[in-house]
């Protein structure tokens, strides 16, 4: 029986790369995303993954994704929370609107919180064997600890994601479930496509010790490391996959 994994935000970028890698490594993967793109469905079919259309802010959609994994694979072993959005408009924090704040927080933080709660309960309801009972990985961002006053709501949402990781890590460690966080740096995705020139210049100017863009596959590989049992004694940890951005340098 394959170990079932649910990946949210799974139609592009980091989520799609994670679905592919985990499926290639033999996991039973259910990808959850809002949009149903024919080209994505074709890739899922090639990889042997299962698609569940839905939005993480909707309780019924979250429950459907869980049920899909349970019916397809008989279990849910891991959850990878990737779903996230940036503000539609980058605005000074003094001009931020409540609408923008609510939209970003609902998806990036509230959706992650209650998806994790739902899947954790399902993991606890499953028979406990030897080894890890389950693994949860939350994708946050270097913005969890980096000020960006033109998209404050995004920074706040990712800081919240970091605390969600610590809270569930604390609660579930005794149950054999580890919860960790991956903090991507500058990753080549749809979210960063509109600011490519800005980041090209920053990278060329020496912002990163590893002077290149990160790719979605870089994050997917970190996710695999966190769920495949190699770091079974690690929980509540934030792993920076950011080309060394987090290093304080003089």
Report the pLDDT value the prediction gives residue 130, as an integer from 0 to 100.
84
Report the pLDDT value the prediction gives residue 250, as an integer from 0 to 100.
84
Report the pLDDT value the prediction gives residue 140, as an integer from 0 to 100.
98
* pTM listed for this prediction: 0.96
Nearest-angstrom CA–CA distance, 131 and 28: 18
* Residue 91: burial class (beta carbons within 10 Å; 0-12, 13-18, 19+): middle
Say if CB 82 and CB 9 are below 8 A apart: yes
pLDDT along the chain (250 residues), means of 10: 97 98 99 94 98 98 99 98 96 97 98 99 93 97 97 98 99 98 95 88 95 97 97 98 95
CA 136, 142, 146, 149 dihedral sign is: negative
The enclosing H or E element of 177 equals strand 177-184
Nearest-angstrom CA–CA distance, 37 and 39: 5
Nearest-angstrom CA–CA distance, 84 and 91: 18
Domains in the chain, please, with CATH?
A: 4-241 (3.40.50.720)
Report the pLDDT value the prediction gives residue 131, as an integer from 0 to 100.
87
154 is catalytic: yes
213, HSE (Cβ side, Cα atoms, 13 Å):
15
Nearest-angstrom CA–CA distance, 144 and 162: 7
Q: What is the pLDDT of residues 92-126, one digit of tens each?
A: 999 999 999 999 999 999 999 999 999 999 999 99
Catalytic residue among 27, 44, 77, 154: 154
How many Å is the Cα radius of gyration of the chain?
17
């Amino acid at each position: 029986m394959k170990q079932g994994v649910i990946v949210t935000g799974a139609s592009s970028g980091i989520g799609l790369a994670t679905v592919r890698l985990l499926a290639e490594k033999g996991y039973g993967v259910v990808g959850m995303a809002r949009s149903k793109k024919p080209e994505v469905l074709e890739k899922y079919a090639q990889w042997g993954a299962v698609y569940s259309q839905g939005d993480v802010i909707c309780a019924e959609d979250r429950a459907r994704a869980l049920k899909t994994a349970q019916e397809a694979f008989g279990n849910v072993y891991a959850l990878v929370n990737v779903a996230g959005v940036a503000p539609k408009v980058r605005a000074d924090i003094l001009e931020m609107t409540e609408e923008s704040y609510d939209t970003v927080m609902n998806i990036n933080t509230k959706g992650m919180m209650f998806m994790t709660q739902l899947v954790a309960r399902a993991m606890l309801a499953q028979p406990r064997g030897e080894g890890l009972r389950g693994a949860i990985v939350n994708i946050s961002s270097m913005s969890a600890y980096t000020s960006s006053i033109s998209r404050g709501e995004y920074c706040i949402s990712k800081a919240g994601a970091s605390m969600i990781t610590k809270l569930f890590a604390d609660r579930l460690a005794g149950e054999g479930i580890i919860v960790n966080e991956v903090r991507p740096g500058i990753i080549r995705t749809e979210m960063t496509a509109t600011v490519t020139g800005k980041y090209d210049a920053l990278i060329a100017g020496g912002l990163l010790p590893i002077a290149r863009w990160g790719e979605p596959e870089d994050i997917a590989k970190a996710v695999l490391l966190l769920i495949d049992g190699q770091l079974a004694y690690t929980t509540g940890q934030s792993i920076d996959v950011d080309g060394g951005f987090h290093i304080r340098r003089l």
